[in-house]
Amino acid sequence: MAVEVAVKAAVDAPNVLGDCPFSQKVLLTLEEKKVSYITHLIDISNKPQWFLEVSPEGKVPVLKYDDKWIPDSDVIVKFLEEKYPEPSLITPSQFASVGSNIYDTFVSFVKSKDPNDGTEQALLIELKALDDHLKAHGPYVAGEKVTIVDLGLAPKFYHLVIALGHFKNWTIPESLAHVHNYVKLLFARESFEKTKSAKEHVIAGWVHKVNP
């Protein structure tokens, strides 16, 4: 029985893949493990009844395996690792939280209206920490091979690069060369190309959060 996955549709185009980083992490895991799957696009402003019945919190992603729907991207990714152990995408535990503050600091910065509120600085501190880590251990977080922590960070960097470029005309400083190389490697993966939302949909997804 084929695996099925319900992911976010674009906010401005309900028939097109949307911009949810948690959904993309699951799609990336399926692609990297070469699992075939059926995709359901969910318009989160108009959720279908069947989806509300299988997703307890009404959130995407949810994955169907053997007639059972599983919510939450972290739980799903762990489940896929057990069912499809090859190639292993397990991140060694000492590296599992690398980069874990980048998304939240990016969100504070992109929403900020005060250039002196420290949000840009907070993001730069997190990016510098990642750069130092990659310099010592890279090119991926756990070395030569991509692992789950990278598949979680890749969609978040995609949002960061697009949204900060669009709303703040901001780019990751050139001095963070290891981060630049990392982002380039992630975005160039075939799995990423196949599962990314178009730039205009990412921007559309941020408009109402940046200008509520």
Residues at the contact surface with ligand GSH, assessed by CB under 6 A: 8, 20, 22, 44, 58-61, 72-74
Q: How far is CA 207 from the centre of its chain?
A: 18
Shortest Å, Cβ 113 to ligand GSH: 23
Give the separation between CA 204 and CA 207, rounded to whole angstroms.
Answer: 5
Shortest Å, Cβ 87 to ligand GSH: 22
Tell me if residue 125 is catalytic.
no
Indicate the residue among 56 and 173 with the shorter CB distance to ligand GSH. Answer: 56
Q: Give the DSSP letter of residue 32.
A: H
| Catalytic member of 20, 89, 107, 153 | 20
Tokens representing 144 are 């030569």
Indicate the residue among 65 and 176 with the shorter CB distance to ligand GSH. Answer: 65
- Which residue has the closest beta carbon to ligand GSH? 20
Q: Give the DSSP letter of residue 197.
A: P
With CA atoms as reference, report the closest residue to 161 among 30, 28, 19: 19
Q: Give the DSSP letter of residue 143.
A: B
Indicate the residue among 34 and 209 with the shorter CB distance to ligand GSH. Answer: 209
Give the separation between CA 154 and CA 158, rounded to whole angstroms.
Answer: 6
Indicate the residue among 138 and 155 with the shorter CB distance to ligand GSH. Answer: 155
Give the separation between CA 12 and CA 43, rounded to whole angstroms.
Answer: 9
Point out the residues that are catalytic.
20
